[in-house]
Structure 1
Amino acid sequence: MFAHSKKLVVLFTLCFSLFVSAQAQSPIHIARIQDTINIDANLDEVAWQSATKVQLNIVTRPYDNTPSPISTEALLMEDGSTFYLAFIAQDPDPEQIRAFLKDRDKAWGNDLVGIKLDTYNEQRSAYRFLVNPLGVQIDGIENEITKKESDSWDGIWQSAGKITSTGYIVEVALPLRMLNFNDKLPQQTWGIELMRFFPREQNLRISNIKLDRGNSCEICQLAKAQGFAQAKQGSNLMITPSLVASSSETLDDDDDTLWHKENDVEASLDIRWGITPDILLNATINPDFSTVESDNARLNINNNFALFNEEKRPFFLDNADYFDSNYNLVYTRNINAPNYGAKLTGRHNKHSLGFFITDDSDTNILVPGNRASSIATIDGKSKASALRYQNNYNDDITLGWISTYRSAKDYHNLVNGADGQIRFNTEDVAKFQFLHSNTQYPTNFFQQFCDIDNEEDCQVIEQKENCDLNECTYNEPALRAMDDQPFSGYAYKASFTHTDSAWHYFTRFNKQNADFRGDLGFMPRVDFNKFVIGGDRRWYADEGQWWTKFKVYSDWDISHNDAGELLEREFDINAQLNAKYESYIRLSYTDREQVGSRIDKSSLAIDGNTTLFNEKQWSLFAEIKPILGLYLNINLSGGDAIDYSNNRLGQREQISPRINWNINEHLEVKFKQTYRRLDADNAKVFIARLTDIRATYQFNVMSYLRLSVIYNNTHRNADNYLYKDPDDITAKSKDLSAELLYAYKLNPQTVFYLGYSSHQDSEEDFANLTRDSHKAFVKLSYAWIK
C-alpha cells in the first residue's frame, strides 16, 4: 500500500513538472478587445469571457516550485492603449484574508496579486504592480544590474478589489502610456510573471512560472507574453501644476516672548512628456520639492558618518533607475531647493540614456573621510547635472558610462566613470566600475568644520568665515576640505558572486583614494580601501514543516587607507531561521578590530595617532506575525563599542522593539522604541531614547488622517567626557515633534495635503518642554493627462 501511494505521488509530481514546463515554454498570447472596461472588480463585461486565462499554480517561495494548495486564475487582455488584468483568487477560509486599507505602497504583508513586466524583454529591469483585495496599490521597479527593488516609482493606473464568499477578485487597468517600450514593433514580446502572495502560517509566493533557486536573476526567468499589435503610447503628456501655502512661527533665540511669523505661497509646474515612445522629458519650474511625508526617525548619536535618507520627490523618482550604478553617484537629496529642473531619459534597441540638470539655491556637500564625514554648505546658487549611458551588449554583458557635475562660485566637482556586468552563467556574475574625479573647493571652505578655541577673539559667525587659522582646532572634515586648488582622485570596485540552490559566496574589492569626491552621490568614505570575502549556506525544509529555511552566513573583511595603514579588520557570522507565522530570527556575532578617533586632530595619520580597539559584539533580531493584523519585532544588541567622543572602548547595549497593529480595516497604530546606552570606565557616557508613535485612519484607498509623535530623550554624563569641560556638555536634551496630516490622493500626482506640525524642546525635564516652532501647511496638485 505504501509503495503504491509513493508511486502515485511520484507520478503526480512528474505530471505537474511536465505541465509547468510546457506552460513556461509556451508564450502567453494576450487577447485583443474593443470593449470599454469599468474597473470595479465585478468582471461583468462580456469582454472578460474572451480574455486569455493563466493559472497561478506554482509555489516558488518558501518551497521549491511545488503545487499550489489554492486556486488562482489570471485573465489578461488589451485594447491597444491599456493592459487589463483580473485575478480570481480562491480561498478556503475568506475570513483569514489579510486585507487592510492602506496608503499606496504600504500594503506589504497583505494578501496580494499582481504582475511583473519586462517591457523590453532584455532581462535588465522590470515593472512591478501589486494589489491587495481592497484595491490598494503597490508599484515599483526592479533592477537586475544593481539588485535594487524600489517602491519609490509611482505610475498612474487603476485597480479595484473586493472580498467574496469564495475568496477575492482584483481588477486592474495599466495604461500603456506610463510604460517604456518600443512601440515601433508590429507586436510586443514582454517578459511576464503573474504573482499571488498568500500569507497564513507561511507566506506563500505563488506564480505561473518556476523560479530556479540557483539562478539569482529572477527577471531572466520570466515567461514571454505576446500581443499589443500596433500598440502606441500616445502623446504621453502630463502637466501637473501645484500650489503650496504655509504659515509658520518660530521663537526668537534670545527673547522667549518674541515670535517670528512667516507666510509663504509657492506655485510650481511639472511637465512629463513622451517626446517619442523611446524618449521621455521631465521638466519642472519652481518645483515643490518639500517632503510632506515624515522621514523615519533615527538616533544620530555616537555616529561618525552622515545618515542616508530615501528620495521621495516625483521629479527625481521618474525613471530614476536609468541613473543607477554600482556606486551611489546620483543621490538627489543633495539637491535642496532648485528653481528649475529638466530630465531626459530614453532607450533605443540596446542603448539607454539618462540626463538631468537642475540649479539649487544653496549647495550641501558631503565632505568624506576614512574616520568621519560631515556636511557643509556653499551659499549662492549652484548647478547639478548627471549623464548615464548603458549598453546591453548581449544577454550576458552590460557596459555603462556615468558623469556627474556640480558647480558654484569657486567650486566644482566632476566625476566620470565606466562600469559593467558580465554574467558567465546562471550562477556566476562579475561587476566592475572605475571612476575619476576633479574637484575644487572655495577658499576657506574648511572653516565650517573648525572647532573654535577662542570664540571672543575670533568674532565667529555661523560659517566661521573670519576665524584666524591659529584659533581653530581641526578635525578630519576640515583637513579634507583645506585644499582650495583643483585636485583629482579615483575610485574603483570589482566583485565576483556565485549563487546556486544551496551556496552563495562572493568576493569584492572597493577603493576610494584620498582625493576622490563624488559630491552628487552619497559617498561618505575616501582614503579607504576594503577587501571582503564571504558567503552563506542554505537549507530548506520540506513542505508542511514548522520551519522553511535555515541559513548560516559569514564574511571577513579588511580595510586600509592609501598609506596602507590598518583601519579595520572584521569577522562576522550569523545564523538565520525562517519559520511559521512569517517568523524570522537572526543571531549574529562580530569580532572587529577598528581604530578610534585621532589623537592629534591636525594630522590624518593613523599609525601612532590612533588606538586600535577590539570590539566583540552580538545582536539578535526576531519578528513574527502571530495573528491577523499584528506584526512584532525586536532588535537587541550589545558588547564592546568605541566611544568616539572620548577615544576609548566602552560597552554598548541597544533595545529596539516595534509593534504594528491593524486594529481594524481602517485603523493602524505603529509604535517603535529605541533605547541605546554607552558606558565607559565603569560609568555612564550617555543614554538615548527615541520613541516613534504613528496612528493612521485610512478612510478609503485615497484618503487618510495620520498623527505622528516623535520624542527624543538623551542624557549625558558630563563628568565622563574626557576632553570637554563639563559645562560645555548638555546633560539633558529632550525634543518632541508632532504632526497631524490629512491626505487625499486621487493618484500619485493629484493630491491634497492639509497639515499642522509643532516642535518642543527642553534641557530639563519633560514637564519643561517649550514649543519653539509650529507650522500649518496645505498642498494641492493636479495631474492633467493627455
Structure 2
Amino acid sequence: INEFGVDAKVRFGTNKTLGLTVNPNFTEVESDIARDSINNPFNPFKPEKRSFFQSGSPVYNTLLPMVYTRNIRFPEWGANYIQNTRNSTTGLFYVEDAETEFVMPDNLGSDTMNVAIESNASAFRYEQSFGKKSLGVLGTLRQGQDNYHNYVGGVDGLWDLSIDDKLRFQLMYSDTQYNEAFADDLCESGDCTRDPIPDFCPLGNCGTNAYVQRADYERKLTGHAFRFNYKHDGPNGLYWLNYYDVHRDFRGDLGFQKQVDYRSVNLAYGQKWYLRVPNDDGESRIRAYGVFTETRSQANEDIETAYALYGEFRGWKQTVFRFGPTWKSRAVNRINQNSLELGDNAPLFDEHYWLWYYEISPWSQWTFNFDGKYGEQADSDNLRLGDLREFKPRVRYQLGHIEIDAKATHRIFDVEEGQLYKEEFYTLGVTYRSSKIFSHRLLWLYDITERNLAIWLGSETAKETSNSVEYTAIYQPSSALRILSGFKFEDELDSDVDDKRYLTNRELYVKLEYTFSKGFD
C-alpha cells in the first residue's frame, strides 16, 4: 500500500495559525504502548501522536474531555485554525474521516465502537479571560451516513480565588442519533440486534450487553453532563471537591466520555510537613491525605463507595513514594446482560487493596520506578472477587546520545479454584542520536495473557500473545524536512491448543514529512 501525506501551516502575524493536512495518519509507524488489564472495564487513554492534532490540543482541554482526536482514526483531510491573544483563545477544526470510531459509555464500563462508514468531525472552542476569571464555550460535531449525528455544546469557567484556590465548572448538552450498524458492532456474538433475546441473558453467554443498549438507534438521545471542581493546594494543606452529574443519554462521540448515567462526589483532605534529609541540599515534603468517593446511577442505584488513605514523600534523590490502602464497595458488571438495571442485577463487591508508587533518580542518567497493587479486587468479566498481585518495574537511562526505557507489568489474579488469569507486558525502547540530523529508534513490545478456561465465563481463548518489533531511522536536515524509514513486524498467538505463532503484519516504510510554513504580517 502506498500512501501520501501533506501538512501545511500558514501563520498570520504572531497569533493566528491556519493548518491544512492530507492523510495525517502516521500512528501505524509509531506504535501505541497504552495497554491495560483485561480486568479494567474502561478504555485506556491513548495520547495523540499526529502533529496536525497535537498542535491545537491544549486549546480544547477542558474539565470534561470532549475532544479526543484519537477517535478520528483514518482522517483523509482536514483543516484547523488557532488564534491566541492576550485575553482570548479561539480554535476550530474540521476533518473528513474514512471510518467512524468512538468510545461507547456505560456506568460500569466502556467499549470501543467502530463502523466502516464515512463521517466528518469538527470542533469549535472560544475562551475569554477576565482577570482571574475566564469563560469558555465548546462545541463538537460528528455526523455520517445513514442519518448518524452527535452534536455537543456547552460552557465552562475558571475562577482563581487565590494563589492556592481554584474553582472550575463545565456544563454540556448533547443530541445524538445512531443507526443499527452502531449497535450491531458492539454485539458480543451474532447479530444481537436482530436475534431474539431471552428475558434472562446471563453474563458469559449473551450476545447483547450494556453497550448495545446504550447505542439505542430507535430513538433520539439527548442529555447533559456537568462537572464542578474546587481545589485548595497550599503550603500546609490540601482539599478538593469534585461533583459529576451525567445523564444516561449524554454522548460525546468526539471526546473521551467513558462513563454516563451516574452522579458522583469525590472529596479529599490532607496535610503537609517539611523536613531536611542529611546529604540533601533541598527540602523534602511529607503529605498525608484521605479520599472519599461515592457514585450512584441516575436511578439512585449503588455503583461505588470508596475510601482511600495515602502517605507521600517527595525529596531526597528526586524520590517520590506514595503508599496507602483502599476500601471499596463496587458494582463491576450485570448478571442479566439484557437489562441496564443495577441493584440485585449488579452485586456489590467489597474490595480492599494496597497501592504504591515509587520513583527515584539517584544519578542524573538513571531513573527507577516500582509501582504496584496488592489485595482483594473484583473481576468484571467473571463477577468474582479474587486476590490481585500487580507489579510494574521500570528503568530509564539517558546519557549523551542514547536513551533507554525498559518497563514491565506482571499481573496475577487468583480465586478459590486457582489462578483465573495472568498478564505480562514488556516494553523496550531505545533511541540513539548519531548526529544532529540522524537518529535511530527501536521499539519492542511483548504481551502475554493466560486464562483458566475451566473457571472463566464466556468463550475466550486460553492464551494470547503478541510480539512487535519496530525500527525507524530518522533523517532531519532542517526543521521543515524529516524523512523516516524502517520496518515493523508483528506476530500473534490466539489459541487453546498449540503455541504456534503467526506473522500478522509486516511493514517496510518510507515516510517523508515536509512542513510548509509561511508567515504574513
Q: Is the pair's TM-score, using the shorter chain for normalization, greater than 0.5? A: yes
State yes or no: 1:716 paired with 2:451: yes
Give the equivalent residue in structure 1 for 2:503: 771
Question: CA, structure 1 residues 359+484, in 2 after alignment: closer, same or farther (shift >3 Å)?
Answer: farther
For residue 706 of structure 1, what is the aligned residue in structure 2?
441
Question: CA 1:348–1:629 in 2, change beyond 3 Å: closer, same or farther?
Answer: closer
Tell me if the contact between 2:34 and 2:44 (Cα under 8 Å) persists in the aligned partners: no
| Cα offset, 1:553, TM superposition | 2.1
Which of 528, 537, 546 is equivalent to 2:262? 528
Kindly indicate whether the alpha-carbon contact (under 8 Å) linking 2:6 and 2:513 is maintained by their aligned counterparts in 1: no
Q: CA deviation at 1:517?
A: 0.5
1:565 equivalenced with 2:301 (yes/no): yes
Residue 694 of structure 1: how far off its partner (Å): 2.4
CA distance in 2 between counterparts of 1:669 and 1:276 reads: 40
State the partner residue of 2:251. Answer: 517
> Which position in structure 2 is the counterpart of 1:236?
none
Equivalent runs, 1:376-387 vs 2, <5 Å: 376-387=113-124
Match of 1:321 in 2: 58
Q: Counterparts of 1:444 and 1:778 in 2: how far apart (Å)?
A: 36
Q: Cα deviation per residue 1:70-110 (whole Å; 9 max; x = unaligned)?
A: xxxxxxxxxxxxxxxxxxxxxxxxxxxxxxxxxxxxxxxxx
Paired position in structure 2 for 1:66? none
Shift of the 712–433 alpha-carbon distance from structure 1 to 2, 3 Å rule, reads same
Alpha-carbon shift at residue 599 of structure 1 (Å): 0.9
Tell me if 1:616 matches 2:352.
Answer: yes
Q: Tell me the distance in 1 between the aligned counterparts of 2:76 and 2:505.
A: 26
Which residue of 2 is the match for residue 413 of structure 1? 150
Which residue pairs with 1:368 in the alignment?
105
Q: Which residue of 2 aligns with 1:781?
A: 513
Of 154, 165, 170, 1:428 maps to 165
Find out whether 1:683 has 2:418 as its counterpart. yes
Cα deviation 1:556-609 (Å, max 9, x = unaligned): 010011001110011111111123222221112111110131011111111111
Listed as ranges, the matches of 1:470-509 within 5 Å are 470=197, 473-509=207-243
Query: Which residues in structure 2 correspond to 1:635-714 (within 5 Å)?
Result: 635-662=371-398, 664-714=399-449
For residue 309 of structure 1, the aligned residue among 39, 46, 68 is 46
TM-score, with structure 2 as normaliser:
0.92
The equivalences for 1:266-415 within 5 A come to 266-348=3-85, 350-393=87-130, 395-409=131-145, 410-415=147-152
SS at match of 1:581: helix
AA aligned to 2:472 is L
8 A Cα contact 2:461 2:496, kept in partner: no
Structure 2 CA distance for partners of 1:378 and 1:735, relative to 1, 3 Å? closer
CA distance in 2, matches of 1:466, 1:651: 37
Q: Deviations over 1:726-749 (max 9, x none)?
A: xx4311222211111111234565
Partners of 1:444 and 1:484 within 8 A in 2: no
2:195 is aligned with 1:468: yes
Report 1:566-585 matches (<5 A).
Answer: 566-585=302-321
Give the Cα–Cα distance (whole angstroms) in 1 for the partners of residues 242 and 474 of structure 2.
45
Q: Describe the SS at the equivalent of 1:295.
A: coil
Identity %: 27
Shift of 1:422: 1.3
Distance 1:697 1:437 in 2: 47
Structure 2, unpaired ranges of 5+: 199-205
The one-letter code matched in structure 2 to 1:732 is K
Structure 1 or 2, whichever has the larger Rg, is 1
1:438 maps onto 2:179 in alignment: no
Secondary structure at the aligned position of 2:38 is classed as coil
Aligned residue for 1:517, secondary structure, equals coil
1:484 & 1:749 partners in 2: Cα distance? 50
In 2: Cα distance, 1:299 partner to 1:376 partner: 18
Counterpart Cα distance in 2 of 1:285 and 1:572: 48
Per-residue deviation at 1:695?
Answer: 2.7
Q: How many residues align?
A: 507
CA distance in 2, matches of 1:713, 1:285: 37
Residue 298 to residue 443, structure 1, CA distance change in 2 (3 Å): closer
3-state SS of paired residue (1:266):
coil
Change in CA separation of 1:447 and 1:695 when aligned onto 2, cut-off 3 Å: same
* Cα distance in 1, alignment partners of residues 356 and 163 from structure 2: 33
Cα deviation, 1:617-656, whole Å, max 9, x if unaligned, reads 1022222223342221111211011121211211100111
Does the alignment pair 1:736 with 2:467?
yes
Contact 1:742 1:755 (C-alpha < 8 Å) held by counterparts:
yes
Q: Map of 1:83-98 to 2, 5 A cutoff?
A: none
Q: Which residue does the alignment assign to 1:169?
A: none
Checking the alignment, whether the CA contact within 8 Å between 2:323 and 2:354 is kept in structure 1 is yes
Distance 1:466 1:529 in 2: 29
Q: 1:632 to 1:766 in 2, by over 3 A?
A: farther
Conserved 8 A contact 1:684-1:720: no
In structure 2, what is the Cα distance between the partners aligned to 1:288 and 1:565?
Answer: 42
Write out per-residue CA displacement over residues 644-697 of structure 1, whole angstroms, 9 at most, x where no aligned residue: 1211211100111112234x5333333212110011124110111111122332
Q: Partners of 1:740 and 1:765 in 2: how far apart?
A: 32
- Say whether the 8 Å CA contact 1:299–1:690 is kept in structure 2: no
Over 3 Å counting, the alpha-carbon distance change for 1:648 and 1:764 in structure 2 is: closer
Which structure 2 residues correspond to residues 160-179 of structure 1 after superposition, within 5 A?
Answer: none
CA 1:666/1:766 → structure 2, altered by over 3 Å: closer, same or farther? farther
2:209 corresponds to which letter in structure 1? N
* Between 469-478 and 404-413, the greater mean CA deviation after superposition: 469-478
Task: Supply the distance in 1 between the matched residues of 2:405 and 2:228 (Cα, whole angstroms).
Answer: 41
Q: Which amino acid aligns with 2:303?
A: L
**Inter-CA distance 627–269: structure 2 relative to 1 (3 Å threshold):** closer
- Aligned pair partner of 2:275 in 524, 531, 541: 541
Amino acid at match of 2:301: E
Match of 2:203 in 1: none
1:320–1:627 distance in 2 versus 1, CA, 3 Å:
closer
Instruction: Look up the SS of the partner of 2:400 in the other structure.
Output: coil
Q: Which residue of 1 aligns with 2:481?
A: 750
Are residues 747 and 644 of structure 1, via their aligned partners in 2, closer, same or farther at CA, if it must alter by over 3 Å?
A: farther
Alpha-carbon distance, 1:519 to partner: 0.7
Q: Once the two structures are superposed, what CA deviation does each residue of 1:4-40 show, in whole Å capped at 9, x if it has no partner?
A: xxxxxxxxxxxxxxxxxxxxxxxxxxxxxxxxxxxxx
Q: 1:361 to 1:553 in 2, by over 3 A?
A: same
Alpha carbons of structure 1 residues 742 and 433: separation in structure 2 relative to 1, 3 Å: same
Deviation of residue 769 (structure 1)? Answer: 2.7
Measure, in 1, the Cα distance between the counterparts of 2:7 and 2:513: 10
The amino acid of 1:564's aligned partner reads N
Residues in 2 aligned to 1:524 and 1:466: alpha-carbon distance in whole angstroms: 22
Secondary structure in 1 matching 2:197: helix
Please tell me the residue identity of whatever aligns with 2:440. Answer: L
Cα deviation, 1:274-330, whole Å, max 9, x if unaligned, reads 234443211123434435322225234122111110011111122322222211111
The yes-or-no answer on 1:552 pairing with 2:279 is no
Counterpart-to-counterpart distance in 2, 1:569 and 1:666: 49
| Cα-to-partner distance string for 1:85-138 (whole Å, 9 max, x where unaligned) | xxxxxxxxxxxxxxxxxxxxxxxxxxxxxxxxxxxxxxxxxxxxxxxxxxxxxx
Q: Aligned partners of 2:186, 2:60: CA distance in 1, in Å? A: 31
Give the letter for the 1:377 counterpart.
Answer: N
Q: What is the Cα deviation at residue 444 of structure 1?
A: 4.9
Bigger strand fraction: 2
Q: Residues 605 and 429 of structure 1: is their aligned pair in 2 closer, same or farther, counting only changes over 3 Å?
A: same
1:508 maps to a residue whose letter is N
Inter-partner Cα distance in structure 1 for 2:425 and 2:497? 15
Could you tell me how far apart the structure 2 residues matched to 1:376 and 1:585 are?
38
- 2:105 corresponds to which letter in structure 1? P
